Chains A and B, each alone.
Chain A
Amino acid sequence: MAPPSNRRSGFSRRAQYTTFFGYLAAGLGALVGGGLLIASLTDSSRFSGVRSAATDVTAPVAKAAAASRAEGSGLFSAIAGYFTSGKENADLRREVALARVKLVEAQAVAEETKRLKDLLGLARQDPKPVAVALMFGSSSPSTRRFATISAGRDQGVAIGMPVRSPLGLVGRVLEVGDSTSRVLLITDTESIVPVRRASDGIPAFTTGRADGTLQLRLISLGINPLKRGDVVVTSGSGGLYHPGTAVAVVDRLLPDGAIARVLSDPAATEYVTVEPIWSQMATPAGTAGTTPGTSASASPAPVNPATGSTAR
């Protein structure tokens, strides 16, 4: 391709100045970007207002597009079901997947009730969802794992609230706009979730690896008791996540833990429920201000329920 001829300024003083100030502005732009970057890295919540306002603006269009996504994926699964063994097969599979997770959660609940027998004063209550929302976007080109949901301050959503789908934990609310919120998915590298093994309550915590899997680290060191196929559920330590929510399945063992697959794949999740923060719900109920899950497990990570499990 030929070089563009109109870029040579020649002897025209005006053209020379235009070129010069263009370069100057470009350099200044880079400097401004560096300044903004330092400002937002030192305090991650500094520009969250601007970002949520921007997401609120595009939310109507994104919601309409998300509805078509649901129809599209439904069509594809119907075709796939036809080619394997009929549409019923696909439906039944989905039901079995749901039932399997529900079974594991029920086991966890039963095991927990057994552990709680001596704490008779504690009234157990199921979390009443704050809002049911449509998950309509995620930061797909970026390494950070955020998703956007269609409920915000107007629906009563607050920062730190856990977000789950019927299949398991999705993440927690990080920034709240008027009608949308940004969710930190559990696969993000900054997300830490205190968990325990569903069968016997071995405490551990998971951190995201940003590639769709979770790193499972055990609290007590020693021989690794995990096996492939173990299901881990939230323990409730730290007071953020409601105990007994399914999180992940162990996929590959490591010396100090395991790599686990997320049960509720965000890509296949359409509707999510926002739940209240566990500690704020549990405190008025009983004497145990800390959550029941901590009775057997050492608190894996000091968690501040107001700001979330870690600093970003």
Chain B
Amino acid sequence: MIQSRLQRQLSDPFRKKINRAPSPLIAIVVPWLTIMLGSLSPTWPVVASAPLLPPLGFLVLLAWRQLRPGVLPVWAGLPLGLFDDLYSGQPLGSAVLLWSIALIALEIIELRFPWRNFFLDWLVAAGLILVYLPTAMGLAMGRMPSPVVLAPQLLFSVFAYPLVGRLVALFDRLRLVRFRALG
């Protein structure tokens, strides 16, 4: 009985303990790092002849913003978008512009619908992806892309969003692990 309680205490790093606290540095830095990691997906060893992978940086940004509304400032689109542009192959500035607009749009949507559930979050994210991907493609190609090119990546991105959300939730739990010794 005593042993099992001890084990439970050791196996759950999130429960409140005396003289242990989460590190504020990690709590702030983890969202930014995970979004930048998502932006680095073009350097992953996947060489494709057609656009297929979802824009992971953008999806992670949306997931963090919807899961933890206070954790990213409204202006986070500027630095994070700039980093994404360095690796995405898009003309520089497209992610800065589109991510900033997306964050402002999410802010307005949050004012309009303060009480949200999972499906509304997904719907909002799907709407943003449906606008973001064709616009980014249009900016890169100089004209509207054909639906044949667009559709697979669009579908893939919309259905990948809940998965990315779960991943972000996992990172959110890790972010708040109490490992810093107090006193």
Contacts and interface: CB of A to CB of B under 8 A. Distances in A.
Contacts of B183: none
B117 A1 contact: yes
Given A30-B77, A33-B78, 14 more contacts: A4-B69, A26-B100, A29-B81, A32-B93, A34-B93, A40-B93, A51-B87, A54-B87, A137-B43, A137-B47, A138-B42, A140-B47, A187-B49, A210-B145
B43 A33 contact: no
Contacts of A47: 92
A145 interface: yes
B53 interface: yes
A266 to B, nearest CB: 5
B46 A33 contact: no
A140 B143 CA distance: 19
B74 A212 contact: no
A148 B114 CA distance: 44
27 contacts: A1-B116, A22-B74, A23-B104, A23-B107, A25-B74, A27-B100, A29-B81, A29-B96, A32-B78, A33-B94, A33-B95, A37-B91, A37-B94, A37-B139, A55-B87, A135-B47, A136-B43, A137-B45, A138-B46, A140-B46, A141-B88, A145-B50, A147-B47, A210-B51, A211-B146, A211-B149, A266-B48
A44 B107 CA distance: 33
A173 to B, nearest CB: 15
A290 B159 CA distance: 52
Interface string A19-58: 0001101111110111111111100101100110011001
Please indicate which of the listed interface residues A61, A140, A267 has the most CB atoms of chain B within 10 Å of its own CB.
A140
A185 B74 CA distance: 37
A51 B92 contact: yes
B97 interface: yes
A141 B40 contact: no
Interface stretch (A64-72, A89-97, A114-122, A229-237): A64-72
A144 B92 contact: no
Nearest to A137: B43
Given A25-B75, A143-B140, A62 B93 contact: no
Interface of B: 40-56, 69-70, 73-75, 77-78, 81-82, 85-101, 103-104, 107, 110, 114-117, 121, 136-137, 139-141, 145-146, 148-149, 153
Given A3-B110, A33-B78, A44-B91, A141 B53 contact: yes
Contact of A36 (B45, B96, B107): B96
Please indicate which of the listed interface residues B114, B140, B146 has the most CB atoms of chain A within 10 Å of its own CB.
B140
A265 interface: yes
